[in-house]
Structure 1
Amino acid sequence: MVYIFLADGFEEIEALTVVDVLRRADIEIKMVSVMDKTVTGGHGIMVQADCLIDEINGEDADMFVLPGGMPGTTNLEKNERLQEFLKYAVDNKVWIAAICAAPIILGNKGYLKDMHCICFPGFEKYLQGAVIKDNHVNISGKFITSKGPGTALDFAYTIVSILKDDDTAHRLKVQMQYANHY
């Protein structure tokens, strides 16, 4: 199970691209709101979450996904239950994927120390102890980080590669016209 967390002010492209691509890959996901069942993105798009954060236990998670956006990232970071899930993930070596501003949630807890990471430009100072990179997506330990809205497809395909395999990710790239051939 992949849990994609949503809070008011989330970056729609980053969240919904991951939802779409993972569902195309037949990966089970749930959009989890840390607020109300209806969540409003940073650009006014309203999304109906599959469930609320208090309705999951997280122990069945293969990955936790944190979309960025502001104030979505700070709204996620304030949620104590989400912080418990992230600590559980770190302690139990469960994958965490964060894009755009969302890696700051991990950086502020010190989880990214010595990890190779990327985030939206200007937020690097919050990635305490991380080795800052400049590519679209980084995998380091059990963390996947990505730069921002324009890298959302790369981020999603990377998640598919990890949870399924490279062939499935590449097949989706071709089907979605991201890549030209097999």
Structure 2
Amino acid sequence: MYILLADGTEELEFVACYDILVRAGFTVHSIGVSLATEHATCTRHIRIIPDIPTLSALPPVTELARSPSVAALIIPGGGPGAATMASSLDVSALINAFRAAGKLVGAICAGTTALVAAQEREEAKAGKVRVTSHPSVRQGIVDKGWEYADERVVVDGNVVTSRGPGSAIAFALKVVEVLAGKDKAEEVRGPLMCADTL
């Protein structure tokens, strides 16, 4: 499982997803996108060093996407980080390869714009799906012809999207549910002491 990381990534979304996916038993690797230094400086100035420094350190995208050991690609938000990902041809190629291979692609907050850019850039066969995002980027997604839902977490086929930092745990748990089943998601959720379990 891979999760992207750039300067300006929303750290709460990144860390919540990484943490919960590891709790669920997945091997997770973060990948740096267009970093000028060894670390990403996130939206609130927390510095995170990616497990893999750059996309160029990976195998070819089609090979990577078809690997049975790779379950999903996660795209966190944060306005500047998401803009970097949306403008990256390498990120678009990665997203489109995962979608073409039928792998799960998850995007949260402004990260949904990278999903939209990838589909538009390469006219991906996977096509447009029902999504959500942070409200600040909603109109741009709607203007590109995507079906939009004002919901905390949206699942459409192998695409899972969500709204922002406040829905990051729900988003990550939904990714776990889609990949490993409801029982596994509930097993991970219990010790987190989410609001409705108190």
Question: What TM-score results when the alignment is normalised by the length of structure 1?
Answer: 0.91
**2:85 matched to which residue of 1?**
76
By how many angstroms is 1:180 displaced?
Answer: 2.7
Instruction: Tell me the number of residue pairs that the alignment of Structure 1 and Structure 2 aligns.
Output: 180
**The structure with more helix, counted as a fraction of residues:** 2
Partner of residue 98 from structure 1, selected from 87, 94, 107: 107
By how many angstroms is 1:104 displaced?
Answer: 1.1
Q: Does 1:54 align with 2:56?
A: yes
By how many angstroms is 1:37 displaced?
Answer: 3.2
The separation in 2 between residues aligned to 1:162 and 1:26, in whole angstroms, is 14
By how many angstroms is 1:114 displaced?
Answer: 4.8
Contact 2:92–2:115 (Cα < 8 Å) also in 1 = no
By how many angstroms is 1:102 displaced?
Answer: 1.0
Question: Deviations 1:123-176 (Å, cap 9, x if unpaired)?
Answer: 122222221111110001211110011000000000111121111111111111
SS in 1 for 2:151: coil
SS in 2 for 1:102: helix
What RMSD over aligned residues (CA atoms) do the two structures have, in Å?
Answer: 1.8
Q: Does 1:162 align with 2:178?
A: yes
Partner of residue 129 from structure 1, selected from 100, 121, 145: 145
SS in 2 for 1:17: helix
Q: Which amino acid aligns with 2:130?
A: H
Contact 1:37–1:51 (Cα < 8 Å) also in 2 = no
Note the 1:1-182 alignment, pairs <5 A. 2-34=1-33, 35=35, 36-52=37-53, 53-57=55-59, 58-59=64-65, 60=67, 61-108=70-117, 109-110=119-120, 114-127=128-141, 128-178=144-194, 179-180=196-197
**The structure with more strand, counted as a fraction of residues:** 1
The separation in 2 between residues aligned to 1:8 and 1:122, in whole angstroms, is 19
Q: Share of identical aligned residues, percent?
A: 24
By how many angstroms is 1:79 displaced?
Answer: 2.2
The separation in 2 between residues aligned to 1:106 and 1:51, in whole angstroms, is 21
By how many angstroms is 1:12 displaced?
Answer: 0.4
Evaluate the alpha carbon distance shift between residue 122 and residue 69 of structure 1 in structure 2; reply closer, same or farther with a 3 A threshold. Answer: same
By how many angstroms is 1:106 displaced?
Answer: 1.6
